[in-house]
Structure 1
Amino acid sequence: MKFGKEFEAQMVPEWKEAYTDYNYLKTLLKDLQRHKQRSNPPATPAGLKRNLTLYRAFSGLIQRQTHHSRDPYEQDIESQPIMVNSVERDGSACYQTTFLMVAEEGGEFEMVYFKRLDDEFNKVDKFYRSKVEEVMKEAAMLNKQMDALIAFRIKVEKPFQWLNSTLEMTHLASDVSNSAAVLSSSTPRAAKLHGKQTGSVGMAKETINEDNIHNGQSDDFSGRKDDEIQLNGQTFQTDKDKDNRGTKLAPLEVLNHVRLNNTLETPCSTIESFLNYSKQTELQFNRKNLKKIEEQLKRAFIEFHRKLRLLKNYSFLNTLAFSKIMKKYDKITSRSAAKAYVRMVDDSYLGSSDEVIGLIEKVEKTFIKHFSNSNRNNGLNLLRPTQTRARHRITFSTGFLAGCTAPLVLALTLIIRARKIVNHPGSTQYMETMFPLYSLFGFIVLHMFMYAANIYFWRRYRVNQSFIFGFKQGSMLSFLDVLLLAFALAALALGGVLANLDMEMDPKTKDYEVFTELIPLLLVIIVIAILSFPFNIMYRSSRLFLLTCLFHCICAPLYKVTLPDFFLADQFTSQVQALRSFEFYICYYGWEDFNRRQNTCDSNNIFRTFSFIVAVIPYWCRCLQCLRRLFEEKDAMHGYNAGKYFLTVSAVCLRTAYSLYLGMTWKVLAWVFSICAAIFSTYWDIVVDWGLLRKNSKNRWLRDKLIMPHKSVYFAAMVLNILLRFAWLQTVLDFKVNFLHKQAMISIIASLEIVRRGIWNFFRVENEHLNNVGKFRAFKSVPLPFNYDEAEDEDD
């Protein structure tokens, strides 16, 4: 694989704009090469190529033997084609390259190339500095969290022996004061010098033992005695006393200045915060709280370590990219400028600083000691999870179940046609009872197929859906996993349909009518049992994640609304017909109609009432979620979104009333509200959720940044969204299709809505990904367990 493709494949998707634009620099070099070829065409005859090649190889061998002990860079400074200097620009150090051979042929092209090269390098260097500042501040924060954790652990495990014990503090940011000088250095030599100093500190060994320190006095493992650290003018106070003796406070005294954060939100806590009821509780030193604190800090360290590794990879990839592009420049121009420029890159902060490497080592050492019981292998496996590979059994099982589903569909079609079930006198009754029961599985399977397609295209176009949805690293389902589940459910449902038909038509089993009618209910029970299975098999983490989001949707607005919560609620707005089918299950089996094979649900007033409630539940949940976000974020857009869902609730209620009672008044009201809701929802889909139809965008009527290479895909998606949005108006228009039963027509319209939702999913997540890219958001924020008192922070 060429370096350009490898470089793009290893980028952090959200940081793509901050990487070196390697392809653009290659384009500049190609323009330079074409200019040189036009200006100096090769005049060597083809027949002399071999002799000239041999002569050049021989002369090169002599030259290497003569000058092998001299560095070409030190041979003659004046013969260098470029000169790189460090300059001050906007209060920060930048690098500027002066091309010394402008007068030569094509010199203006080379001057433009170095100007763009400097812009790219300064962009990368500035971004790297800013990210290092962030991780240093985060390291100082984790220091204080570890201080409190170790004190809390001693209080729980050795409550009566802490006065004679020791307290080891793992100062991750012990070299922050040294890094401040590095960040402010303006010359490559100073940056290199400070990088070496911080590297020596970062490699220092931990020399303090918990059992050998008396009276609560300790130093950090780098031997520092300072009581505070400086970073860009900001002061971070350590836990040392402010006198010159460098002693600490008593080990457990830090607990007097902290309290536990309430990171576990419950409906009761939400109501208390809404009523401004604050309940101050003292720290409870028990093993349950200790386990919670350790789990939270463990997640924080894992995420912090991942951030450091990606930052280290960012530095390595960009440094390598500048080296590669300069080698290409030397090859095209036959100059020797690469060594001077690469030396500048190595001496810069990007190439010489090792704060990140030092922090990685310290994080690993701390994590192994305090969170993996000093087991290095287990600790590193948690910090560096291996990427899940596609397992052959998943691929085989998916193909096998797909092969089972296809003949089952064919067999079902042939049985219906051969036995003329559609034209059977009792077909109407069968369609009104059995079709709604089995169509539930069809809606779910279709939605899973669309979601599998979404996952495939998100991965293909490098949309970071794992970060967007907040999945744990390594727990995200691949599209093959989703297809496996979809084909398994499809085969199970089709097998149930065929068994039902066979038992119905076979005279030997016709007496078992009650058992025949129970087959759909058994299938639903099996699916619910698998979904709620508590043991760690069959994608337990994904099932738990789904059930948690579902519970948050049902309890809206009592939980903080996150993207997975409202994304799942949006999926249910496209599964209204599936929810009605589930309601039909309760009515059909609850009122024991299955014993008489009669469908009396439509004439039941309770069923009719719940037809309204079930249809509006998803939209009402989304409305409440929008109101919760409006209350927290004070963004008027959430209020408009809540109004959109309230309008949709009105339209759904009027359509349901028209389908149950009929009448011109209900029809007119259903028409008006449905059209208004469709127009409002279509505008919101395309403009707000997808971010398209931007008039002043560089991509006309789209947006500035696009992931799909073909713009026609976006216009086709907008047209499809409009058509499919208005497809369900058929329930109001009540078109008659002679060869389709009413239930079949309803199912087709519901399936079209599911397809529309699948298209919406891709572009909604794409727009969210591009928003994260624009703000360089690549990591999720992990809540920390301890919160230091404000008074204590001010004293620090």
Structure 2
Amino acid sequence: MKFGKEFAAQLIPEWQQAYVDYSCLKSILQEIQNARKRSGAVTRKQPVHRNFSGLTNRSNRVATSEELENQDIMVSEMIGDDGFERYETSIMRVAEAGREPELVFFKTLDLEFDKVNHFYKSKVEEMVKEAMVLNKQMDALIAFRIKVDQPSSSWICSETVSVDVNALDTTEHRLADVMGIIVSNHGDSTRGNMPEALSVLERIRLNKDQETPLSRIRNVLKLSSHEELKFTRENLKKIEERLKDVFIKFYRKLRHLNNYSFLNTLAISKIMKKYDKIASRNAAKTYMETVDKSYLTICDEIRKLMVRVESIFVEYFASSNRSKAMNLLRPKVKKEKHRTTLFVGCSVSLVIALALLIHARNIMGLFGFVVLHMIMYASNIYFWKRYRVNYPFIFGFKEGTELGYRHVLLLSFGLNTLALAAVIMNLDMEMDPNTNDYKTITELLPLFIVGLVILITICPFNIFYRSSRFFFIMVVFRCIAAPLYKINLPDFFLADQFTSQVQALRSLEFYICYYGWGDFRLRQNTCRSSHVYSTFYFIVAVIPYWSRFLQCVRRLIEEKDSTEGYNALKYFLTIVAVCLRTAYSLNRGNSWRNAAWFFSALATFYGTYWDIVFDWGLLHKSSKSWLRGKLLVPHKSVYYVAMVVNVVLRLAWLQTVLDFNIPFLHREIMVALLAILEIIRRGIWNFFRLENEHLNNVGKFRAFKSVPLPFNFDEE
């Protein structure tokens, strides 16, 4: 693999703008080469047998006067108006051939080097500040441990600590700015003077790890949010788990910074070697000597912090087991072993087969919708990876636990196989001639599959991607209790997925009716005639949109952003449109039809505009192409096609009101096809929505999420 591709593959996507622009420098070198070819300049070949530079760092010896005179370039260091050092390169002997491109090359290289140097220095300073704060966190943890291990020891502090259950909300931003890590070992010093070590507990409060519905209700009712915390091993375990997570995240930052320094230094070295080869000069050595003396290379704060973190993590959080500690600090990347072609082919073929049988057994439609959505999500993951969208960071997955597209295809293949087998077995049965009754066991197969899927989802054992399953359950619960939790991207992203699965939710309602009240032994569907079923037919369709509406209202109240108010209006209009369409499908009439048509059209055009402009960030007037300034997909036509497809698939829902009938298709089949088109539209929406979110993170250099600390120190 060429270095340019390797460099692009290893850089942190959110910091992409802070790296050396290697491709730009290569393009300038190409201009230099073309200029020299046009002028007929001869490129000097590098000697085959060059001196070995050694495995250690370059020598810092002072160059002689003769060597200085023979140098091709001279790099000067100066202090800018902002107080940062800057570098300026002067070419000592410039040939007419390629003169202008060479000047542009070094001017660009100096600017890129200054940018990298300043960015690295600012990040190192942030890490040092975080180190100072986590030092205090470790002091508090050690004191807490002493109090738990020796509760009867005499000390000067009070016996309990006041806990503010809402402290996380009030101190989150402050803690996020000053997180850090211990820089000195206090393990031995605290044992000698226990009262002094325990005195830190007088100045701390314990932050709740996350907001709960109870804490939110207390905050709304303005009730007291302080509780008494006893020094128990259960609380100590919770604190240790939270600090362990903070250490892991902090160590990950240090690794990223260390890799940032190495990659940029290597990129500058590579580009200078290319310059020497093209321009027939020996400038690389001189420039790299300057790089070796810069802050980017000589600063060893990150390396020292990494060594110290490893030592402390081994001692305090891994029971002195270094192997266990390093597995947590440096988790191994999962290797996807499944054959992509096999699972894609099997999944698609099974979806087609299942779709052909849905019309015969309406009860199996649920599985078809879910499997199709899983395949669309797998394709999303594939393209996110291809275009370097950092979806694990955006969704907040734990490092090393995110599912790849092959894993999702494997799950969809398994579910599809179970569903198709149930359909075939369900159809292959005979009526008992004596009782005119169907075999109960075969009719219960779909219910057994639903129960099996639910049991696997909530299974507490570490099988079938437990981390991903529990993450999914947690987000689903937060969607249900939308107004009682702070809304994050995974919450409203999953709620949006449910808005495209209304027919699947109605299938669940049908399961309850069919197996709970219907005579499933006779395979009779009497649900349609039930008023209770018709009522819940409305409610089930509204639940996903109502959840998104509440999420928008919560964000509007918290963030004071009027955009969330307009977004809430979009979902409110959709709720009205869905209710009117449902009413029209159950009770035919011109009044219902006109109302449903008006609100459906209004909600459709409103939602389409919101998708393209706000969710995807397209149609910017400032852009010449009416897209946006930065695009991950190199072909602009993809964005135009996606916008057109989104509009067409949005308008497809109007068919339920316009009554555009196709003679050879049953109405239920038409509804199922429209549901399939909506799932496909949602899959397209997913890619561009996360692309826009990723580019927002890139613009703000947001590569890490803030991690709440367990202890909050009172202001002195």
- Confirm or deny a common fold (TM above 0.5): yes
* Alignment of 1:704 onto 2:629: yes
Deviations 1:706-741 (A, max 9, x none): 000110000000000000001011111122222111
How far the C-alpha of 1:406 sits from its partner, in A, is: 4.0
Q: Secondary structure in 2 aligned to 1:285?
A: coil
How far the C-alpha of 1:520 sits from its partner, in A, is: 1.7
* Alignment of 1:267 onto 2:213: yes
Give 1:435's match in structure 2, choosing from 337, 361, 366.
Answer: 361
How far the C-alpha of 1:555 sits from its partner, in A, is: 0.9
Counterpart for residue 148 of structure 2 = 156
* Alignment of 1:474 onto 2:400: yes
Whichever residue aligns with residue 214 of structure 1, its letter is G
How far the C-alpha of 1:530 sits from its partner, in A, is: 1.5
Whichever residue aligns with residue 104 of structure 2, its letter is V
Counterpart for residue 789 of structure 1 = 714
- Aligned 1:354-393 pairs, distance under 5 A: 354-391=300-337
Instruction: Evaluate the alpha carbon distance shift between residue 691 and residue 504 of structure 1 in structure 2; reply closer, same or farther with a 3 A threshold.
Output: farther
Instruction: Evaluate the alpha carbon distance shift between residue 449 and residue 411 of structure 1 in structure 2; reply closer, same or farther with a 3 A threshold.
Output: closer
- Aligned 1:420-569 pairs, distance under 5 A: 435-504=361-430, 511-569=437-495
* Alignment of 1:326 onto 2:297: no
Q: Is the 8 A contact 1:101 1:107 kept in 2?
A: no
Q: Secondary structure in 2 aligned to 1:529?
A: helix
How far the C-alpha of 1:513 sits from its partner, in A, is: 3.8
Distance 2:645 2:286 in 1: 56
Distance 1:516 1:454 in 2: 36
Whichever residue aligns with residue 595 of structure 1, its letter is R
How far the C-alpha of 1:401 sits from its partner, in A, is: 9.5
Distance 1:709 1:622 in 2: 33
Give 1:399's match in structure 2, choosing from 329, 333, 342.
Answer: 342
- Aligned 1:160-175 pairs, distance under 5 A: 160-161=152-153
Give 2:70's match in structure 1, choosing from 79, 102, 122.
Answer: 79
Q: Is the 8 A contact 2:45 2:277 kept in 1?
A: no
- Aligned 1:654-733 pairs, distance under 5 A: 654-698=580-624, 700-733=625-658
Distance 2:104 2:495 in 1: 52
Q: Is the 8 A contact 2:376 2:680 kept in 1?
A: yes
How far the C-alpha of 1:456 sits from its partner, in A, is: 0.6
Identity score, percent: 58
Counterpart for residue 40 of structure 1 = 40
How far the C-alpha of 1:306 sits from its partner, in A, is: 0.4
Distance 1:157 1:576 in 2: 54
Give 1:752's match in structure 2, choosing from 657, 660, 677.
Answer: 677
Greater mean alpha carbon deviation, residues 378-387 or residues 509-518: 509-518
Greater mean alpha carbon deviation, residues 94-103 or residues 401-410: 401-410
Counterpart for residue 30 of structure 1 = 30
Q: Is the 8 A contact 2:430 2:439 kept in 1?
A: yes
- Aligned 1:289-308 pairs, distance under 5 A: 289-308=235-254
Distance 1:489 1:606 in 2: 31
Whichever residue aligns with residue 77 of structure 1, its letter is L
Give 1:120's match in structure 2, choosing from 109, 112, 116.
Answer: 112
How far the C-alpha of 1:376 sits from its partner, in A, is: 0.7
Distance 1:136 1:211 in 2: 23
Q: Is the 8 A contact 2:347 2:412 kept in 1?
A: no
Give 1:210's match in structure 2, choosing from 185, 188, 200.
Answer: 188
Q: Is the 8 A contact 1:464 1:769 kept in 2?
A: yes
Counterpart for residue 121 of structure 2 = 129
Distance 1:70 1:450 in 2: 57
* Alignment of 1:146 onto 2:138: yes
Q: Is the 8 A contact 2:33 2:278 kept in 1?
A: yes
Q: Is the 8 A contact 2:206 2:710 kept in 1?
A: yes
Q: Secondary structure in 2 aligned to 1:693?
A: coil
Q: Is the 8 A contact 1:454 1:758 kept in 2?
A: yes
How far the C-alpha of 1:273 sits from its partner, in A, is: 1.5
How far the C-alpha of 1:106 sits from its partner, in A, is: 3.2
Instruction: Evaluate the alpha carbon distance shift between residue 509 and residue 482 of structure 1 in structure 2; reply closer, same or farther with a 3 A threshold.
Output: farther
Question: Which structure would you say has the larger Rg?
Answer: 1
How far the C-alpha of 1:30 sits from its partner, in A, is: 1.3
How far the C-alpha of 1:400 sits from its partner, in A, is: 7.1
Q: Is the 8 A contact 1:553 1:566 kept in 2?
A: yes
Instruction: Evaluate the alpha carbon distance shift between residue 27 and residue 290 of structure 1 in structure 2; reply closer, same or farther with a 3 A threshold.
Output: same
How far the C-alpha of 1:213 sits from its partner, in A, is: 5.9
Distance 2:325 2:599 in 1: 58
Instruction: Evaluate the alpha carbon distance shift between residue 407 and residue 669 of structure 1 in structure 2; reply closer, same or farther with a 3 A threshold.
Output: closer
Q: Secondary structure in 1 aligned to 2:87?
A: strand
Q: TM-score, normalised by structure 1?
A: 0.82
For the aligned residue pairs, the C-alpha RMSD in angstroms reads: 2.8
Distance 1:676 1:729 in 2: 11
Distance 2:562 2:299 in 1: 45
Distance 1:677 1:588 in 2: 33
Whichever residue aligns with residue 480 of structure 1, its letter is R
Gapped regions of structure 1 (runs ≥ 5): 44-51, 62-68, 165-201, 217-248, 417-429
Q: Is the 8 A contact 1:409 1:494 kept in 2?
A: no
Distance 1:355 1:583 in 2: 60
